[in-house]
């Protein structure tokens, strides 16, 4: 089986594929998700998503064979609270993940109740609209500790050789108070640092990512790092891999620079 890449993606705002005005705004992001799927070496056996919308004190692994939905947004049209993304779960893969994490000294527990959040079902709706690829989520740690999330990624790396696609889903810029032209300078500065960092040799790249708060405008771009932390799992699972830019936009919502990367 071909080794799968990993991704760190910017997933956009709320349930945008179901809101025509927003779908138009995120048309370039949508095109990037379509291209991501087309460029995979083969159809994945399953997708493991680490979303910026699920965190816990201990790693939790979605274990239901038919996960429900989490409508973790507000102020959207009523129909967006009826969305169903019906991809099957994968309890056997959940057990495999828990075992891999345990082997790396990381405590994890199954979660049969967690549903798909929009950081997961939005990109999957574009990539696999028939919801026919098994899909599970692995939580972030609420500590947001970069080193620990690197360790999670390293532990999950063997899944790449088993046909499993690992995606860290967040946003390379995520300051909810400045989702407007005020984001122009900070998001561009941080994005430039991210591109330069990911182009470095693996050891230097890892060191700089761990020291991310020294990046230009780091805390202005990520006041809370929930949408940033998924990158560590994606890079940790492909630590020796080359980073390739797969989405880049410089005027999103009037000023935001945002990017997504593939690692293989």
Q: pLDDT tens, 203-244?
A: 999 999 999 999 999 999 999 999 999 999 999 999 999 999
CA distance 9 to 234: 10
**Inter-helix orientation angle 184-198/202-210, to 10°:** 150
pTM given for the model: 0.98
Q: pLDDT tens, 24-60?
A: 999 999 999 999 999 999 999 999 999 999 999 999 9
In the block, residue with structure tokens 């890449």: 5
What confidence tier does 2 reach under pLDDT thresholds 50, 70, 90? Answer: confident
Residue 152 clears pLDDT 90, i.e. is over it: yes
Q: pLDDT tens, 75-127?
A: 999 999 999 999 999 999 999 999 999 999 999 999 999 999 999 999 999 99
Kindly list the domain boundaries of the chain, sorted by start residue: 6-263
- Beta strands at 256-263 and 243-252: parallel, antiparallel or unpaired: antiparallel
Task: State the average pLDDT for the chain.
Answer: 97
Q: Given this structure, which CATH class describes domain 6-263?
A: alpha beta
* Polymer length of the chain: 264
Work out whether the CA dihedral 32, 84, 47, 172 comes out positive or negative.
positive
Best CA proximity match to 229, nearest among 190, 164, 172: 172
Q: What is the pLDDT of residue 60?
A: 98
CA distance 9 to 157: 18
């Amino acid at each position: 089986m071909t080794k799968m890449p990993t991704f760190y993606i910017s997933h956009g705002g709320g349930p945008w594929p179901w809101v025509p005005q927003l779908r138009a705004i995120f048309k370039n992001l949508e095109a990037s998700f379509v291209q991501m799927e087309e460029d995979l070496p083969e159809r994945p056996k399953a997708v493991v998503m680490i979303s910026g919308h699920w965190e816990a004190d201990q790693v939790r692994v979605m274990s239901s064979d038919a996960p429900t939905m989490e409508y973790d947004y507000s102020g959207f049209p009523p129909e967006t609270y009826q969305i169903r993304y019906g991809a099957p779960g994968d309890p056997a893969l959940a057990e495999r993940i828990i075992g891999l994490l345990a082997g790396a000294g990381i405590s994890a527990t199954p979660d049969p109740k967690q549903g798909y959040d929009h950081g997961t079902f939005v990109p999957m709706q574009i990539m696999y609209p028939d919801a026919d690829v098994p899909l599970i989520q692995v939580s972030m740690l609420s500590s947001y500790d970069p080193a620990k999330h690197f360790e999670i990624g390293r532990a999950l790396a063997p899944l790449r050789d088993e046909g499993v696609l690992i995606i860290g889903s967040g946003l390379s810029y995520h300051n909810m108070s400045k989702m407007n032209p005020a984001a122009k300078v900070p998001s561009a500065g941080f994005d430039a640092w991210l591109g330069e960092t990911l182009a470095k040799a693996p050891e230097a790249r890892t060191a700089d990512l761990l020291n991310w708060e020294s990046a230009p405008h780091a805390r202005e771009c990520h006041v809370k790092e929930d949408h940033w932390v998924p990158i560590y799992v994606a890079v940790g699972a492909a630590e020796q891999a080359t980073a390739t830019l797969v989405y880049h936009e410089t005027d999103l919502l009037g000023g935001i620079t945002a990017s997504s990367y593939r690692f293989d």
